[in-house]
Every structure is written in C-alpha cells, then in structure tokens.
Structure 1
C-alpha cells in the first residue's frame, strides 16, 4: 500500500473542511494516510466530528515537534548525538544545512526529524506556506517522495500574513514539486504570475459530498417566508455586512425574509451591532459555530444562499468557497459577488446570479427577483444540484486525484 504524508500547519482547523475531504479521498483511493501537523487543535470542537470518527483521522496525526532542549548545552549535546547516531547521513545533512536559509540548531533537528518520512511515496503539502523544510530536503536529494502542493488562496496573496514578501519565496518549491494544485483558474493565474511552471499546475475543485449535502425530500419551509443564509467565518473577507445591508433594503420594501448567519469570527460583535443599529434583530439570526450536520440542515431549511465574500483591505479574495457548492448541492440558488474564484463555482443566470462586487443595489435586486419568483428559484435550485453533481461531486474529482497521486 502506498503512503501519503499530508503536511499542514494546524489541524484540524475549524474552517478547513476541504482539507479533511482531501484526506478522505486519499483514503478511499487506497492510500495509507498520515497527517503531519505543527499544532493539533481541539478535535472535539471541530465541525467534522463524524468524518474524523468514520475514517480514524485522529489516529493518523503526527505532531511536528523537534523536541529542542531549552538550554544551549542540552541543545548542543542532543544535536551532536543525533549526528553521531547516523554517520551514514552526514553527507546528506551537510548538503541540507548548506542550502538552509536559517542556521544554528534548527536545521539539525529538522533534518533528523524528517528521516522518519524518507520512505513515503508522496508528501502532499497543504498550503504553500507549509513547504519548509520539505522543499530544501527534496532540492538536496534527501527526500525521494513525489511532492504535491495544494494552494488554497491566502498562500498566494503577498505579502502573506502581512509578513512574507514575494521575492523568490516559492522558487525552490516550484522547482522540486511534481504537481501544483489549485481549485480555480483564478488561483492558476496567480501561480503563473509567480512564475510557477504551467505544465505542473492542475486545477481540481474542492469536492462536495453530494450524498450528504442534498435537497430534502419533504420541505418544511414556510410559503410566506423566504430564508436567506450565509455560512463562513465572520470577517471582512467573507463580507457578511453586505448581506445584512441587503436584508435591510429588502425588508424596507415589505418583503418577508429571515437571514441566518452561521459561523464565528473577529467581526461577530461588529456585525451584531450593525444588526442592532438597523433594527433587524427580529430578522437576522446568528447561529455561531455549527457542525457539518448542522450546516447541512440549515442549508436544507433555507431558500437562497448569499455568497457575500468581497476583496478585503489587503487585497485578498475568495479562491473558491466550498460552502457555495454545498449550498447548491442542497438545491439552493446562489446570489454572489463577482470576486476572486467565486465565478467558477456557479453558472451565472442558471444556478444563481453574479453581482458587481460590493454593489448593494445589484445584490439586493437579484435576491428580490428570486424571492418574488418561486418558479425561478426552484428551477435554479434544480440546475444547481445537477451542476454540483457533474463538477464538484466526489465521483467527478476522484479520477483527477487518482491521476495526480499516480
């Protein structure tokens, strides 16, 4: 059985269902999966509890802890001991050390820690920012594994986290990686701007479990009330304030709408204040953190999904937006701003509407159209389900990953 090592900084992150889904695909393809992470988050708080239990992901975790002693003397003694224990690796280590940007004790501990992963068939790096020290280990010939790197969005917006400049940051990774994966043509363009070799780039959309996310057979929706919903982190990039302001416009026109916001984040109090200032406390509801089963149920109980993501103040944009696909899988039409890679996740005029970014008049008018025309709403919902089954279902992307993993 071939082995895949997934490398990620923190796992499991609350908002990164797509990472979990990717690991499940590898397991279903018959690979032995291990997950190398710098920090193990509280699994009990994660929205993917059911998946963790079903596929035993907790037992596959490996903590990337170099166990570097606190005092300089102990660090020195342990480092010398590591080197003397494996004299056969001295040449490989010296080559690695010479190519490292950082010197001192860290490269010593990194190198000998990674000797445990020498025999993995594939190392799949999730987010380009988690490349170190794999890129140098591969560059110097120590690692023989095939290297696959998935870019998801923020890892291509420089300066990354307002700290990392673009100056050659991915040069080694682009040279040594066998395949560079992104989820939309939007991210492919960003990779090419950074001089990534086009022949290495593969576009694979984030998959949706269409057997789980599906329309309800018997609807419990009220005929006189239209439920709008947005799911995601409560922050500037996700743009929930535009959804709230659109609801204000709709209610002032006399339309009977209810707006659900699911998720948590740094903008929560700010958004609640906006709701209060607009007098929308009886129309906008905050659900807080929700599990995957709760996400599914909320979507099934709703009528229209509002994809409110916009460009934030540092220029970041949504790369795809998994929840947009999940909503369409549940038979919901989408109203979204045309930003980043969002346009690739729906068919404008058929499964939903794309609106000019941050244009509240356009955004609210498209929502109003769907509210007033239940036939159009149902037709778009049917189209949406079919679109996701054809383009984003596990079955539709399984062959692509089978080819990539090779």
Structure 2
C-alpha cells in the first residue's frame, strides 16, 4: 500500500511510537510518506529516522507566495520537480475555477493541497492526533479528496475529558468524514464515546515498540548496595512526579534507605520537584537527569530494578490523565516491574500483580508498600520482569500491532 502519515512536527524526539509504526509498515513492504505541519529540529534524531531515510520521505508545505509571478513560477517548478508522482485528479480539481472560483484561479487550493497533488494517490492517509485531520476533513467538505480513506488516531491531548461539549462541535466534521478511528486504550475510547456515542468504526490500537530494541542485556554481577528505581516522563502535573519525594520519604521513615531514584524528563515542574527533593533532604537518593536520548534512557533502564509512574488526574487541566504511557511498556520490555497508579489508561498496559502493581491515586503508602515488596523479594522482582517482557512482546510489539493496523486500513 501507498500510505501517508500526517503529524504535527517531524522529526521530533518525542512520539517515537509514530516512527515505530512507520518503520514496521516499511519493513512489511509498504511505501510511506510523512506529511508534517512543521519541520522539527535536526539536533537530536532517533536512529530509526536515519536508518530508514525518513527525512527524505517527509514533506512540509511550501508557503504560497504573495507575489503573483513568483506564485505561478513556483507552481510550475513544483509540478516539474514532482512530475512522475503527480496526482492529476486532485491537481485538475484544484484548478477548476468554474467549481471553486477565485481560490482555484489564484492557486490557493493548489498550495493548500500540494502534499496530495505532488504525490501519487494514497491508499490510506493516517493522521496522528485529531486536530491534524481538520484541514483534510474541511477539504473533503468542500469537495476534494472524496475517495481518500482517512484514518485518525486519538492519543490523549486531543481528547481532554473536560471539553466534551466543545469537541461535539470541534470534531463534528471529523466524525462525518473519517473512515476509521483508533484509540490507544479503553480509557480514551470511553472519553471519545461521550463526545459521539454512535461512532461505528472505532478500534482500540495501543501504540507499540520494537521489542528487539528494548532488551535488558545481562550485566556483570556486581555487589549492589541500592535498589535502583527509575521514573521517565515529562515533568507535568498529570504524570505525578511531585509525589516521588513523598514516596521515598515514606520508605525512609520505615528504615528503607538503600534506594536510589533517577528521574528522567523535564518540564514546567522541574524546579518545584527539585525544591521538594531538598525539602525532604533526599538529594543523595534522587537524581534529576533532565531530558536525555532514547539510547541513554535504555542504559538507565538496564541499570534499574523497577519503574514508577504515579500519575494523577490533573483537575486544573480538566481532569487530564495518562492515556496509555508507552514508557510503561518500554520498561516491561526491559524486564522492569512497573508501579503505576490506577488513573487514566495506564492500568491497561500491564498485568496487575504479575508484571507490576496498580496503586490507588496519590496513595503514598501504597506506592511505598509496592517498592518495599520488591526490595525484600528479589525473586519476585526478577519474576515480574520476565513476565513483563513476555507480556509486551505478545501484545505491544510493533509487528503484532501492525497486523491489527492493516486490518483497519483494509476494512
């Protein structure tokens, strides 16, 4: 199949799950073009983007020149550059001034639809994050791209539970013109069904990872003095990072002091988190690493004993919570027991009491109990880690999820 993947920014350090999906499609023999609303930074690029030459397969719109002569010259230049791939049907439609009047004559629609004009017809257009699909559904509403199969994936920030009434209007055309909708967890699906209870084509399709790239290599057996705990995520309210110093302080009060926590990530709460660490005098136990690369994250995971993500419902942001949290599956793939809260969709991404623990929201003692249980039972830690990897390989590997995605594309 010839597939277009539409994103906000490309490349980007975050949203690696989209790259995972693209590379899985390519490995399966499909051609993929990436359409980004905005070019991302080239300072830090994931290896997969380079290995698969995805930068060469990405496209960002060229702005329509205000000057009429430059506009026409650029029009002919773009046509010549992409002559072998032109979608003549959309091109001729965009120039139909009898149908579209001035916007066709002034090449407005050509420049707006340039991605779909300058590339041969796509079998499927897959949009990640619903707002990125709004331009496309508006084109469909006007009369363009009528035969285009449109798949839209909701991931989290695009479906805040506090804005149900707003979304009923905002996504009205999207629901009308989208052929298939995917969501990452049952939690996201439930929110979406509050907006539109009668959605006919909605599928739960979690985001996945290449489990071959997330393996816990056997390290030399050195005598360990600390239990190594790791948090990885943005430092924003709904991730719950501000609870971490309280959890470690509770463990310290119980006499559990041989514990080291590494916090990976940055965000608006970084300074507040550092202040909390100082307040509880935990500078020797907690290290805030900031933003690091994927490869560096994997090194930290290999050195760790367990993963923690104590997410909360952020009531100052309309009750937003973690919708899936792919990092939970990444940690399990590297044989780390995971300790998460019961909010949002995190609980669907593990087997409670087998690959990790699901703790009630903000239950400091509950989190401390789970960590202490792992510290005191090394065999349980190892057993949970083994089961966690097996669970992720069978349910979240990109190749497994690819087969489910292709069913959706072909439906």
- Aligned partner of 2:131 among 99, 104, 129: 129
Structure 1 segment 107-118 matched on structure 2, within 5 A: 109-111=111-113, 114-117=116-119
Establish whether residue 305 from structure 1 lines up as the match of residue 302 from structure 2. Answer: no
- Aligned partner of 1:53 among 39, 50, 54: 50
Tell me, yes or no, if the aligned pair for 1:93 and 1:111 is still in contact at 8 Å: no
Residue 13 of structure 2 corresponds to: 14
Tell me, yes or no, if the aligned pair for 2:161 and 2:191 is still in contact at 8 Å: no
CA distance in 2: counterparts of 1:76 and 1:65, whole angstroms = 16
Structure 1 segment 1-400 matched on structure 2, within 5 A: 2-46=1-45, 48=46, 50-69=47-66, 74=67, 78=71, 89-91=94-96, 94=99, 109-111=111-113, 114-117=116-119, 119-143=121-145, 144-157=147-160, 165-195=166-196, 197-218=198-219, 220=221, 222-255=223-256, 256-312=258-314, 313-314=316-317, 315-400=319-404
- The alpha carbon displacement at 1:357 in A equals 0.7
- The alpha carbon displacement at 1:310 in A equals 1.5
- The alpha carbon displacement at 1:168 in A equals 1.6
Q: CA, structure 1 residues 219+267, in 2 after alignment: closer, same or farther (shift >3 Å)?
A: farther
Residue 85 of structure 2 corresponds to: none
The count of aligned residue pairs is 391
Tell me, yes or no, if the aligned pair for 2:95 and 2:110 is still in contact at 8 Å: no
- The alpha carbon displacement at 1:18 in A equals 1.1
* Structure 1 residue matching 2:389: 3-state secondary structure: helix
Residue 101 of structure 1 corresponds to: none
Q: CA, structure 1 residues 94+310, in 2 after alignment: closer, same or farther (shift >3 Å)?
A: farther
Q: Which moved more, 1:11-20 or 1:54-63?
A: 11-20
CA distance in 1: counterparts of 2:128 and 2:8, whole angstroms = 8
* Structure 1 residue matching 2:311: 3-state secondary structure: coil
CA distance in 2: counterparts of 1:77 and 1:41, whole angstroms = 26
CA distance in 1: counterparts of 2:98 and 2:181, whole angstroms = 27
Tell me, yes or no, if the aligned pair for 2:35 and 2:115 is still in contact at 8 Å: no
CA distance in 1: counterparts of 2:239 and 2:374, whole angstroms = 22
* TM-score in terms of structure 2 length: 0.86
Give deviations 1:299-337, integer Å, cap 9, x for gaps: 111001001222122111111001100100111111111
Tell me, yes or no, if the aligned pair for 1:75 and 1:105 is still in contact at 8 Å: no
CA distance in 1: counterparts of 2:70 and 2:212, whole angstroms = 55
* TM-score in terms of structure 1 length: 0.87
Q: RMSD of aligned C-alpha atoms?
A: 3.0
Tell me, yes or no, if the aligned pair for 1:158 and 1:165 is still in contact at 8 Å: no
Tell me, yes or no, if the aligned pair for 1:182 and 1:188 is still in contact at 8 Å: yes
Q: Which runs of 5+ in 1 are unaligned?
A: 99-103
CA distance in 1: counterparts of 2:209 and 2:180, whole angstroms = 22
Q: Which runs of 5+ in 2 are unaligned?
A: 80-90
- The alpha carbon displacement at 1:244 in A equals 2.2
CA distance in 2: counterparts of 1:35 and 1:87, whole angstroms = 23
Q: CA, structure 1 residues 109+58, in 2 after alignment: closer, same or farther (shift >3 Å)?
A: closer
CA distance in 2: counterparts of 1:193 and 1:105, whole angstroms = 40
Residue 83 of structure 2 corresponds to: none
* Structure 2 residue matching 1:192: 3-state secondary structure: helix
